[in-house]
Amino acid sequence: MIGVFDSGSGGLTVLKALVEALPDESFLYLGDHARAPYGERDNADIVAYTTEAVDFLMRSGCRLVVIACNTAASVALRTIQQNWLPAHYPRNRVLGVLVPMVEALAGVPWHREEPHEDDVLRYARVVLFGTTKTIESRAYLEEVNKRAPGCAIVQQACPNLAGMIEEGAPERVLLDVIETWVAAALDGHRGFAPDAAVLGCTHYPLVRHLFARGLPEGTHILSQPDLIAEALTDYLRRRPDFAEPGQGSVRYLTTGDPAHLRGLAVFMTVLHGQFQQVRLSDR
């Protein structure tokens, strides 16, 4: 069974892509809706909450967990992989959403941390939208620049956008906010015409069409859920010991109120299921 964790519901966009790519695998989704969104929280809280969620999923039988939250992956993943996991679950693995996107932007595999003189630059100009914490972490910026220093990245924080999407804000309101942030990113760098845009929050694919309306025509918007699904499929091909084909079940867990989320999976990702409430810690 593969665990999928997000601070709220944005990870459902990733789960949908994973289920479509790996229909025989079983998935356990956990949304920490009671403490969402993570994008404006302190780093220490993000690390603590994410570790708590990963531990819960592994105690529930998941040997492999995908952190389907850019904020959690940017702030907490390295600490979990290097410090916590070897001490608690040395045979398990935790993956994040950052690596597949960095590979797509840089055009080279993750293990390549230095450019080669024969590398061909895939994207010369990229605009990256994310939560405040994702942008502050500079994780995408630093990892892409290691591998493709010729790629110019303009970062733009979109405070509270994930929360607005989660709460079902009207599309007109979301469009006004998104157009403001797109303008802020591009107007702040006169003459910057992006080749590609990264929606660096798993909530943002739900409003991809609104970003497309604000961005210059021809800007390629990279699909994070599809990239993650491709990466996980490749990972399981290389590490079949983490694959458990044949069951094909999906369960949904939340730290929040299931009644509030009853129709959310269907509304957001055309996944059919009901959330069950769980408790991660004494709050």
Which among 62, 151, 158, 201 is annotated as catalytic? 201
pLDDT at 217 over 50: yes
Of the two residues 95 and 269, the one the predictor is more confident about is 95
Q: For residue 167, what pLDDT is reported?
A: 85
Indicate if 69 belongs to the active site: yes
d(CA 222, CA 70): 14
Query: CA-based diameter of the chain, in Å?
Result: 56
Across 84-107, average pLDDT: 96
Q: For residue 283, what pLDDT is reported?
A: 46
pTM across the whole model: 0.93
Q: For residue 214, what pLDDT is reported?
A: 93
Of 22, 34, 28, the closest CA to residue 54 belongs to 28
Instruction: Please name the helix (run of DSSP H) or strand (run of DSSP E) that holds residue 63, with its range, or none.
Output: none
Q: For residue 266, what pLDDT is reported?
A: 66
Domains of the chain: 2-97+225-277 (3.40.50.1860), 100-223 (3.40.50.1860)
Across 108-120, average pLDDT: 82
Q: For residue 272, what pLDDT is reported?
A: 77
Q: For residue 260, what pLDDT is reported?
A: 83
What rounded mean pLDDT belongs to the chain? Answer: 92
Give residue-wise pLDDT tens across range 238-274: 999 999 887 789 999 999 999 888 777 766 776 778 8
Indicate if 151 belongs to the active site: no
Which of the residue ranges 16-20, 93-97, 245-249 would you say has the lowest mean pLDDT?
A: 245-249
d(CA 19, CA 159): 30
Distance (Å) of CA 38 to CA 45, 192, 251, 283: 9, 30, 22, 16
Give residue-wise pLDDT tens across range 150-192: 999 999 999 999 989 988 899 999 999 999 999 999 987 777 8
Across 75-92, average pLDDT: 97
d(CA 15, CA 165): 17
Which among 62, 69, 151, 158 is annotated as catalytic? 69
Q: For residue 140, what pLDDT is reported?
A: 96
Across 54-70, average pLDDT: 97
Query: 108-117, 204-213, 269-278: which has the highest mean pLDDT?
Result: 204-213
Across 116-131, average pLDDT: 89
